[in-house]
Amino acid sequence: MTDLVGVTLGRYQILARLGRGGMADVYKAFQPSLDRYVAIKVLHASMVDDAEFVGRFQREAKNVARLRHPNIIQVFDYDHQGDIYYMVMEYLDGPTLRAALEEVHRRREEMPLGVALRVVADIGSALAYAHENGVVHRDVKPANVMLDRSGRVILTDFGVAKILTGTKVTVTGTVLGTPAYMSPEQGRGEPGDARSDIYSLGVVLFELATGRLPYDADTPLAVLLKHVHDPLPLPRDVNPSLPEAVERVILRALAKDPADRYPTVQAMLDDIAAIPPATVPASRPGELTTRMMAERAPHSPASAPAAAGAAARPATATSTARRASSIWLGGGAVLTAVICLGLAAAGAFVLFLTGDDLIRLVSAAPTATRTFEPPPTHAPTRPPAAPTPIPTGGAEDNEPGQVLFHDDFSDPASGWDRVNTDEGATDYADGKYRIFVDRPQYDYWANPGMSFGDVRIEVDATKVGGPDDNDFGLLCRYQDTRNFYAFLVGSDGYFAILKYVDGDSESLGTDGMAPTDAVFLGAATNHLRVDCIGQTLSLYVNGELVHRVVDGEYTSGDVGLIAGTFDEPGVDIHFDDFVIYEP
Phi, psi torsion values for 163, nearest 5 degrees: -80, 120
Give long-range contacts, CB 8 A cutoff, 24+ apart: 242-248. 242/113, 242/209, 242/210, 243/113, 243/275, 243/276, 243/279, 243/280, 244/279, 245/271, 245/274, 245/275, 245/276, 245/279, 246/113, 246/117, 246/205, 246/209, 246/275, 246/279
The answer to whether residues 87 and 63 touch, using CB atoms and an 8 Å cutoff, is no
Q: Which of 294, 395, 412 is nearest to 21 (CA)?
A: 412
Are 454 and 540 contacting, i.e. CB atoms less than 8 angstroms apart? no
| Closest to 162 in 3D by CA, of 64, 47, 304 | 64
Round to whole Å and give the CA distance between 181 and 161.
Answer: 15
From the list 450, 442, 472, the residue with the least C-alpha distance to 459 is 472
| Cα distances (angstroms) measured from residue 310 to each of 332, 425, 559, 564 | 4, 7, 14, 12
Which among 89, 166, 169 is positioned nearest to 134, based on CA atoms?
Answer: 166
Angstrom distance (rounded) from CA 80 to CA 159: 18
Identify the H or E element spanning 479. strand 470-480
A 10 A CB-CB count for 535 gives 17
SS3 182: coil
Q: How far apart are CA 252 and CA 200, in angstroms?
A: 12
Say if CB 439 and CB 312 are below 8 A apart. yes
Q: What are the beta bridge partners of residue 429?
A: 432
Chain-centroid distance of CA 30 in Å reads 28
- 342 neighbors 21 (Cβ within 8 angstroms): yes
SS3 65: helix
Distance of CA 325 to the CA centre of its chain: 30
DSSP conformation class of 151: -
- Give residues with Cβ within 8 angstroms of 257, minimum separation 6: none
With residue 343 as reference, give the H or E element that holds it: none
Name the packing angle between helices 356-364 and 220-229 (round to 10°): 50
Instruction: Let me know: does 331 contact 310? Beta carbons within 8 Å.
Output: yes
Q: What's the length of the chain?
A: 583
Catalytic site positions: 139
